[in-house]
Amino acid sequence: MNSSRRDFIRKATAAGVALMAAPAVFGSEPFSKKRKAVDPPGPFKLKYAPGFGMFREHAGTDLIDNIKFCHDQGFRAMFDNGLPGRAVEDQAKIANEMQRLDMLLGPFVLYADFAVTSFVLNKPEVREMLVGKMNEGVEVAKRTGAKWALMVPGRYDEKLHRDFQTANVIDNLRYCCDIAEPAGLTIVLEPLNTLRNHPGLFLTGIPQAYAICRAVNRPSCKIVNDVYHQQITEGNLIPNIEAAWDEIAAFHCGDNPGRNEPGTGEINFKNVFKYIYSRGYQGVICMEHGKSVKGKEGEIKLIEAYRQADSFEV
């Protein structure tokens, strides 16, 4: 057997092993150097949104390569909590590539200060700060085409009755909506768990967020339902999603315990996703979680976990 034939067989064998090990993910080279998959996977039923850097081992650190890689794996959305902090040029790059690939950009974090009381107070300086934040958010939305800005109302005030705090939150949100609404931007409020991650916060449950949105009574004030947080806070996930459906604009997900990909904890994501799909949901489900396994193997496992959770019958 001559040397060229031996080289061919060795390379073919290595390629076959790589394909069997990762049928849904490209090889190990930087994304910009990869060839098209022979049989790329189709789109997911729902718009699950990876964050930038979630597939660093396969796609590298380049923003555009990350978007292309996720699109080729069947994802039709991305999310970037830190979008307002990116350079204007990078915001434009993200927006252009997302538009080119017809992908949806999930909520960015506009305000989430867990250390201070803010929304719960009736103070001019608080409103001035919030108005400034909203103006910043509107500019980010104009540059990127983002439709949702995430806000967390901050800590509760131990010296003020909760009902007064609720009234102040409602009033402050109306000021925010006055700026967001004409720009086509929707504020999404995120209730967070206090038992494990964020003790001392004001907004913790879906029923509470629902009541606030109904009281604000503006189309630009909605909820982002993070099923990881709500599994810890209240459980009863599907009934609460159903009850609050008209006020939910976006979802976050992560399994509990561990806050990793679906299938690593106690949440039946296949049923949760099936219900969301049954309502005709066209929005984003942000993959706001870690990976249970490190490295390339973990990235492959993550994609496979979403393929499994997305395999519900319709």
pLDDT of 75 reads 98
Tokens coding 213: 């949105």
Q: What percent of the chain has pLDDT over 90?
A: 87
Task: Return the pLDDT at 41.
Answer: 76
Whole-number pLDDT of residue 40:
59
In the chain, the domains with their CATH numbers are: 37-309 (3.20.20.150)
Catalytic residues: 190, 288
- Within 10 A of 180 (CB to CB), how many other CB atoms are there? 26
The tens digit of pLDDT for each residue in 247-284 reads: 999 999 999 999 999 999 999 999 999 999 999 999 99
The Cβ-side half-sphere exposure at 295, using a 13 Å CA radius, reads 3
Find, among 115, 120, 107, the residue nearest to 153 by Cα.
120
Note the pTM of the prediction, 2 decimals: 0.87
Q: What is the pLDDT of residues 223-245, one digit of tens each?
A: 999 999 999 999 999 999 999 99
Amino acid at 178: D
